[in-house]
Each structure stands twice: as C-alpha cells, then as structure tokens.
Amino acid sequence: MIDFSSDVKTLPSAAMRQAMASAEVGDEQAFEDPTVNALCARVAALLGKEAALFAPSGCMCNQIAIASWCRPGEEVIADRSAHIAWFESGGPAANAGVMLNTLDGDRGRFDLAQLQAALRPRWRHCPLPTLLAVEQTCNLGGGAVWPLPQLQAVAAFAHSEGMHTHMDGARLLNAVIASGVAASDYAAPFDSVWLDLSKGLGAPIGAVLAGSREFIERAWGVKQRLGGAMRQAGILAAAGLYALDHNVERLRLDHQNARALALGLSQIGGLMIDPTTIETNLVFFDVDAQVLGFDAATFASRLAALGYKMGPFDARRVRAVTHLDISAENVQQALAAVAKVCAG
C-alpha cells in the first residue's frame, strides 16, 4: 500500500534507527539526557528562541502553550480551520478552560482587519482575549503558507492588545523550504512556537516547543501535569536530530511531488482542484459525485483496493499528502490508479 493519507505515515529509516540505537541517554525530566538537551538547543537556535522542551507530540505542545499562556475563561483567537479547534479532542476547553474565538481566514490565514474585528470589548462581561494562535503551514488550508508580513501584522496587533502569540509550526519547515524565509524570521513575532518531528521530517515520535527561558520554565509545569515528562527520551530525540540533519532540504521533493499530483488530479474528469494553490505537501481535492456517481469515501475505498491510500475528509473532500516515503514515480502510479477509479 502506498500511503498518501498523511505525512505521519513515514517510517524511520535504517540510518535513523541506527542513530536512535546508539544515542547517549539519561533522565529527560532531570535534564540529564544529553541527546534531548542537544535537540532542544538545536531547535531553540533554529527558531531564534532562548529555550525549548521536548514533547511526545505536537498536540501536547499546543496544549502546553495554551495552558501556559491562558487562564480559565479567557479566549484564544485562531482560524476556524485550526488544529486546536478540530483535532485536539476539545483540549483547549478541557485542559486550559479557555474559549476559542475562530476567524474565517483564507485557507487558514486571516488578516489584520479580521483580527481587529474579532476582538471583543474589554469589558468584564466578555472573555479576555489572551492568546493569538496561528498555524504555519495551515493544515486544513491545504498547506498554505502565511506570508511573513501578514504574520508580523497580526502578531504586532495582538501584542499591542496585551495578548501573547503562539505558532503551531507542525509543518513550519515546509513553509521555510517553500518560501526561503528563515524559520527564525517566521518565529520571531511569536512568543511560543513548535515544530513536529514526526510529520514530513520522518521521525517516529516527538515535537519541540520553544520560547523564552521564562516561558519554557512555566511550560515544563504543564508538561509534567499532562504526563509529558519522560525518562531516557534521547532514543527519540536522536531520531529528531537525524531528521534535522537529513530530512529538511528534501522537503522540496515533497512539494514538487505534491504539485505534480495536483496537476495530474486536475486533468481527471470529476475531480476538482486548482493546482496553482499547492504551495507545500498537502493536496486537498473534491470528488464531484454529480459527475462520478460516488462520494469521497467510496473514491478512497476504490483507490485503496488498487493499493493507494488517500484520506476522505468529508463527503466531497479528499486529502493526499506527499512525504519521504512517496517518490515521483509513486505519484504517477497513483494518478493512473485514480484515473482508473474515476473511469469506473
């Protein structure tokens, strides 16, 4: 099965496993794991921040950040498509007691005017907005990249309103490779930012959350509370270091493969996609049931029967993701299979 359903499906390579097996380790939560310490220092430097912590998942990084910045009853402003709103099992409410005020951005990216319009009056009847959260790249926005000036504008406004700013950088390095903007430049307007090691970077587990030394100290308390403090986690951090050494530049190939996939899909009758919108490795397209006589779920199951997995998102939408276990040849093979499914 060639799996386009997510970039979390990458398997650790033999060389990555070798790095994991030979990692020097210690007690992570006592700061005695040299490999975790090295990973945190490396990511903090990459993101231009003072300090960082290692977490088992990106979800936990978002949850730690929200609970570190906000008190119960306060409000987080984010795009309506945000991972924190859709896919964290109500974590912002359950773990931090906050409300989400969601905006209708353009493929996950809202502008300054929308943010300004969303701000409620500072009045004791209203929840206090304390955190602005953005996603770079936007997952449900189809991997769209926020332009740096737009990020700077919304973050500067949030700061002027006394809010903190958080970047969900699950795929930040995809944005970096696509745009040529440095990770530290994207991260600079944000008080906390994290990146995922287990998506396109190909590590089996892990994410790193960065910010000021003071923020990371507070964040450690939440990490402990959520059960995210670990022991000999250097085995996992070694995979992350390996990924940063070997799997960043090659994200360019994933983006090329995504564009080729989108272009091919756009030429198949009954599928709808604008290939010019593909900036990174996420490809969302629509299945037109009026033309094809079946919906996205049926499309995906018929395609899976031919050996290619893509993810139906709702009745119309399908998500296909390129990653390091998908080659240019796999893309052409998948397009042939998709054409076969659509031809009935």
Q: Does 236 bind ligand PLP (CB under 6 A)?
A: no
The separation between the first and the last C-alpha atoms of the chain, rounded to the nearest angstrom, is 21
User: Of the two residues 210 and 292, which places its CB atom closer to ligand PLP in the complex?
Assistant: 210
Scanning residues 145 to 174, which ones bind ligand PLP (CB under 6 A)? 168, 170
Q: Does 57 bind ligand PLP (CB under 6 A)?
A: yes
The type of residue at 98 is V
Per-position x/- string for 204-223, each x denoting binding to ligand PLP as judged by CB under 6 A, each - no binding: ---x----------------
Q: Does 279 bind ligand PLP (CB under 6 A)?
A: no
Measured between alpha carbons, how far is 8 from 14 in angstroms, rounded to an integer?
Answer: 17
Measured between alpha carbons, how far is 131 from 191 in angstroms, rounded to an integer?
Answer: 10
Number of chain residues interacting with ligand PLP (CB under 6 A):
13
Measured between alpha carbons, how far is 11 from 159 in angstroms, rounded to an integer?
Answer: 40
Q: Does 198 bind ligand PLP (CB under 6 A)?
A: yes
Say how many CA atoms lie within 13 Å of 188 toward its Cβ. Answer: 11
| Residue of closest CB approach to ligand PLP | 58
Residue with structure tokens 């796999």? 330
CB of 105 to ligand PLP, least distance (A): 14
Measured between alpha carbons, how far is 241 from 252 in angstroms, rounded to an integer?
Answer: 19
Q: Does 196 bind ligand PLP (CB under 6 A)?
A: yes
Measured between alpha carbons, how far is 54 from 203 in angstroms, rounded to an integer?
Answer: 13
Helices 234-246 + 34-47 axis angle, to 10: 40
Q: Does 37 bind ligand PLP (CB under 6 A)?
A: no
CB of 57 to ligand PLP, least distance (A): 3
User: Residue 192 has what DSSP assignment?
Assistant: E
Q: Does 83 bind ligand PLP (CB under 6 A)?
A: yes
User: Of the two residues 102 and 264, which places its CB atom closer to ligand PLP in the complex?
Assistant: 102
Checking DSSP bridges between strand 308-309 and strand 99-103, what pairing results, if any?
unpaired
User: Of the two residues 270 and 319, which places its CB atom closer to ligand PLP in the complex?
Assistant: 319
Checking DSSP bridges between strand 164-169 and strand 192-196, what pairing results, if any?
parallel
CB of 291 to ligand PLP, least distance (A): 30
Q: Does 298 bind ligand PLP (CB under 6 A)?
A: no
Measured between alpha carbons, how far is 101 from 256 in angstroms, rounded to an integer?
Answer: 35
CB of 195 to ligand PLP, least distance (A): 10
Among 59, 262, 338, 342, binds ligand PLP (CB under 6 A): 59
User: Of the two residues 56 and 264, which places its CB atom closer to ligand PLP in the complex?
Assistant: 56
User: Residue 207 has what DSSP assignment?
Assistant: E
Helices 251-266 + 172-179 axis angle, to 10: 80
Q: Does 273 bind ligand PLP (CB under 6 A)?
A: no
Q: Does 237 bind ligand PLP (CB under 6 A)?
A: no
Q: Which part of the chain contacts ligand PLP (CB under 6 A), choosing from 53-61, 68-76, 95-103, 235-243?
A: 53-61
Q: Does 58 bind ligand PLP (CB under 6 A)?
A: yes
The type of residue at 215 is F
User: Residue 143 has what DSSP assignment?
Assistant: S
Which residues of the chain form contacts with ligand PLP (CB under 6 A)?
57-59, 62, 83, 135, 139, 168, 170, 196, 198-199, 207
